Amino acid sequence: MAHSDKRELVLGIAGLGTVGAGVVKILTGHADLIAARAGCPVRIKAVSARDRSRDRGVDLSAYDWYDNAADMVEDDEINLIVELIGGSDGPALKLSQAALERGKGFVTANKALIATHGKALAITAEEQGAALRFEAAVAGGIPIIKALGEGLAANEIIGVRGILNGTCNYILTRMENEGLDFSEVLADAQRLGYAEADPTFDIDGIDTAHKTAILAAMAFGKEPNIQNLPTEGIRTIAPVDIEYARELGYRIKLLGVAQRTKEGIETRVHPAMVPISAPLAGVMDATNAVMVEGDFVGQTVYVGAGAGEGPTASAVVADIIDVARCGNSCPAFGVAPATLEPYVPVPVERHQGTYYIRLRVDDRHGVMADITAALAEEQVSIESMLQRGRATEGGVYIVLTTHLTAEAAISATLNRFTKLECVLETPTMLRIEAF
Ligand code: HSE
């Protein structure tokens, strides 16, 4: 919807889960405030969801009901579709294409859709003069898409690093505070509703990867690339590593990183040792945070709720207001969509960083010599080394941190360690993130 057409924004909302219900609540509860800010009334005309009978805590009786979301685009009065279905393909993709091809605005909270099809959708939006917005897709209530696309638009972005998954941050926080194993905390988080029944997307880093791909696209003006994004989750984090992290002055966080380096653009998702003095280290429980570094502005940090009804619906409604105010005059990724070039991120083996390695080894003479020999063979320089007490499973733990080195050298060193007779289990490696 172009700015000049604006008399009334008429919405079709697809998906009435927690966020959908939250959007209805804000739009009805703040109708006057939203009309004042939008510069026109914003009216819900239709809704679509699978189950009509479910009580969602909102009165939906005044709205047309569609069983099939894509049919809403046939209603000529509706000029903006709000998609809260989720999934990179299927009904969400169909709806997005149908809406934009008819020149209707499209607001979504769907990170998988934007990370996978963002460029194609942005091109259709531009061709049809339609607005595409996805603030709620990344870090829920934190306005990070606006920050990158507008507030920091004067800067070349050097890097974006974030805690982008509340479930993982909640689990890591409780593991640290209570000294519990990952699986114990996960089970409890599921019981309390902090983690989904199928938590794979969250704990294996896939949710963070989608968000990171979108942030990289916004930051560097590139086509989102989810295919080549090295992704590791938090399943393998052990309480002993959290303890060693503390001793060494770090806290373990699952990070999404998109960084300009000498080698090119690096994107990666993995648990990392974050220096305790860095702002991201202090972000606990289900809170999200994003740090953006721009060449003129320096470091900026954004902290808030990354999920949940109110925060996510707040971002969706902000996008709706934005469409009313600006129509399609502001490109979805901050640059003309045709200029969103594909890119291949720097392979993780070429990442230059410092590393934490934990080994469980036999407690006998000569072990340290074997370990240091393996490091020397791969030209990996040790920054610090610790040995404390005995491991409960037998042997002792040796923990070391390295000086700056290429990840390929670390992988080769870990291979050497694995082949040593004195090494009793697969070594643990964590990247140390410099801030
Ligand atoms: N499941 C996500 C989280 C929120 O735990 O943060 C939606 O992206």
Homologous superfamily, domain 349-432? ACT domain (3.30.70.260)
Q: What is the pLDDT of residues 361-393, one digit of tens each?
A: 999 999 999 999 999 999 999 999 999 778 888
Given this model, what pLDDT does residue 5 score? 52
- Closest atom of ligand 1 relative to the 288 alpha carbon: 6
In whole numbers, what is the pLDDT of the chain averaged over residues? 96
Q: Quick count: other Cβ atoms within 10 Å of Cβ 120?
A: 16
Residues facing 57 on adjacent strands: none
Give yes or no: 94 in active site: no
Ligand 1, pocket-test mutation among 185, 207, 234, 303, most atoms within 8 A of CB: 207
H or E segment to which residue 171 belongs: helix 166-178
Q: What is the pLDDT of residues 96-154, one digit of tens each?
A: 999 999 999 999 999 999 999 999 999 999 999 999 999 999 999 999 999 999 999 99
pLDDT over threshold 70, residue 338: yes
pLDDT over threshold 50, residue 4: no
Q: What is the mean pLDDT of residues 160-165?
A: 98
Pick the CATH number of 9-138+310-335 from 1.10.340.30, 3.40.50.2020, 1.20.200.10, 3.40.50.720: 3.40.50.720
Residue showing tokens 């008429």 = 10
Instruction: Return the beta strands (E) in 127-237 as ranges.
Output: 132-133, 157-163
Tokens of 377: 């063979």
Given this model, what pLDDT does residue 391 score? 82
Task: Fill in the DSSP letter of residue 286.
Answer: T
Between strands 287-294 and 264-275, the pairing is: unpaired
pLDDT over threshold 50, residue 218: yes
Say how far apart CA 65 and CA 273 lie, in whole Å.
Answer: 49
**CA-wise closest residue to 349 among 405, 390, 402, 415:** 405
Region 144-305: CATH code: 3.30.360.10
Given this model, what pLDDT does residue 6 score? 57
Residue 241 and residue 252 in contact, taking contact as beta carbons nearer than 8 Å: yes
pLDDT over threshold 80, residue 3: no
Answering whether pTM is above 0.85, one says yes
- Closest atom of ligand 1 relative to the 211 alpha carbon: 8
Given this model, what pLDDT does residue 388 score? 79
**CA-wise closest residue to 145 among 127, 129, 164:** 164
First to last CA, the chain: 42
Between strands 157-163 and 250-261, the pairing is: antiparallel
Q: What is the mean pLDDT of residues 291-311?
A: 97
**Burial degree of 210 (CB within 10 A; 0-12, 13-18, 19+):** buried
Domain locations in the chain? 9-138+310-335, 144-305, 349-432
Report the percent of the chain where pLDDT is more than 90: 94
Residues facing 256 on adjacent strands: 162, 269
Q: Which position among 45, 111, 211, 222 bears the catalytic label? A: 211
Residue 166 in contact with ligand 1 by CB distance below 6 A: yes
pLDDT over threshold 50, residue 402: yes
Ligand 1, pocket-test mutation among 84, 167, 215, most atoms within 8 A of CB: 167
Residue 165 in contact with ligand 1 by CB distance below 6 A: yes
**Residue 344 C-beta-side C-alpha neighbours within 13 Å:** 3
pLDDT over threshold 50, residue 226: yes
Given this model, what pLDDT does residue 215 score? 98
